[in-house]
Amino acid sequence: MTEKFKSLYAYAKLHRRHLPTVALIAGFLWDSLTLGRPDQLFDNAVILFYLTVAGVCIGLLTRHRERGSTSRLPIVLIFQFAIGNLSSGLFVLYGVSGTLVGNWPFLLFLAALLIGNEFLRDRYGKTTFRIIIFYVLLLSYLILSLPVALREMGAGVFLASGFLSVIFIAGFVVWLHFLAPKVVAASKSTITAWVATILVLFNILYFTHLIPPVPLALRDIGIYHFVERNPSGNYTVSFEKPKWFEFFKSSDRVFHRKVSEKAYCFSSVFAPARLTTPIYHVWEYYDEEEEKWVERSRISFGIIGGRDEGFRGFSENGVLTDGRWRCSVKTDRGALIGRRDFVVSRDTKAEVELIQAVR
């Protein structure tokens, strides 16, 4: 058994360069399978566990550097696995909230933490870089979890997340200074500057609506000819019968309208248990001459969290003109949760066959 372990360790040392990347990818795959909802105790316990593991590994590696010894491979691999889990978990939870169009800069940043390891592997050997990565993930988690804990959303909760992150990272750096005073003292000003820069950057992304509106997540959205709530509490929706090749059609992308016919936008938005917040259906028409989207109506309604499939609601629009339209689901701050684009076309046929489904 000892010989096998020695052989395995020798193999690991031989391929040391690529093992951190393997650990990061393994963390991503594992986390994608195990995490689901931001309001579940298990999910939060997992993320907090990996934050703790990553923090302890940073402490051990910094201590080794203080003593002048080389970084221990098992600790580096554990650190990479924890970072992979944190990055992937947050990427998944942020990725299902909002849209790629509206939030791509932030999602790209989280994705860079997953795939950039091969290019930045030498940086993981530096204390400052480890702390920066740790702080980004800590702040991202607080932005996600504090609305769940407080059962409300808004700018005040976001600012509170940033304030707590500064307190936590300051305490963390004090702990590191106790373990490795020389190393931390040499990096303290750089760490402070980076923490301030990251905090300012996150605030810019938030107030320009580039951070997804976590913990809300769009579960379903569609355009229909009719929507009504049935006695069972579900919703019956009517849309045009799919053509033979439209295997996955569940709503209308092209809306063939009759005279004075209304269009309905149905959405289902997930929110954590006991969280209530208003959302808006924003109907917009694309003005071909002005080459811009023009808002035609804005309908608000509150949602109540806790349902895994999301809180369901719909709005209607009876003033339709031919052309491109879209129905956007937004928060009261204007952050985009989801959107459905469609085309309105006057029906020249005698009859449009509709089918029904239950949502």
Sequence-distant (6+) residues with CB within 8 A of 351 are none
Mean pLDDT of 170-196: 92
Q: Which residue has the tokens 């849209």?
A: 99
- ∠ Cα 197 198 199 (to 5°): 90
The rounded mean pLDDT for the chain is 82
Same domain, 10 and 116: yes
* CA-CA-CA-CA dihedral for 133, 136, 139, 142, to nearest 10: -70
pLDDT value of residue 113: 59
Give CA separation, 251 vs 195, 233, 341, 353, in Å. 46, 20, 11, 13
Q: Does residue 6 have a pLDDT over 70? A: no
Do 41 and 159 sit in the same domain of this protein?
yes
**114-170 pLDDT, tens digit each:** 555 445 545 445 788 889 889 999 999 999 899 988 988 889 999 999 999 999 999
Same domain, 152 and 79: yes
Among the three residues 151, 173, 207, which one is the final residue of a domain in this structure? 207
- Alpha-carbon gap, residue 224 to 48, rounded angstroms: 42
CB 345 within 8 A of CB 256: yes
Q: Are residues 17 and 98 in the same domain?
A: yes
Residues 181 and 236 in one domain: no
The reply to whether 192 and 243 lie within a common domain is no
User: What is the tens place of the pLDDT at every residue in 298-330?
Assistant: 999 888 877 777 889 999 998 889 999 999 999
Residue 116 forms part of a structural domain? yes
Dmax (CA) of the chain? 84
**200 and 223 belong to one structural domain:** no
pLDDT tens for residues 271-300? 888 888 899 999 999 999 989 999 999 999
What is the per-residue DSSP string for 239-297?
Answer: EEPPPTT-TT--S-SEEEEPTT--EEEEEEEE--TT-EEEEEEEEEEEETTTTEEEEEE
Global pTM value: 0.81
The total number of structural domains in the chain stands at 2
Considering the domain boundaries, does residue 31 fall inside one?
A: yes
- Alpha helices of the chain — where are they, by DSSP H? 2-14, 19-34, 41-67, 73-95, 100-115, 117-120, 127-150, 155-179, 181-207
146 and 198 both lie in a single domain: yes
152 in the same domain as 89? yes
> Do residues 66 and 167 share a domain?
yes
Strand duo 323-331 + 235-240: pairing: unpaired
Q: Give yes or no for residue 35 having a pLDDT over 90.
A: no
Helix (H, G, I), strand (E, B) or coil at 225: coil
- Quick check: is 86 in a domain? yes
Residues 200 and 225 placed together within one structural domain of the fold = no
Given 179, 207, 235, which residue is the final one in a domain? Answer: 207
Q: Is the peptide bond before 215 cis (omega within 30 degrees of 0)?
A: yes
- Indicate the residue among 173, 207, 241 that finishes a domain: 207
What does the pLDDT look like over 206-242, one tens digit per residue? 998 888 888 888 889 999 999 999 888 899 999 999 9
Write out the residue range of the structural domain in which residue 200 sits: 2-207
Any domain includes 277: yes
Return the CATH number at 291. Answer: 2.60.40.1930
Residue 1 has which token pair?
């058994």
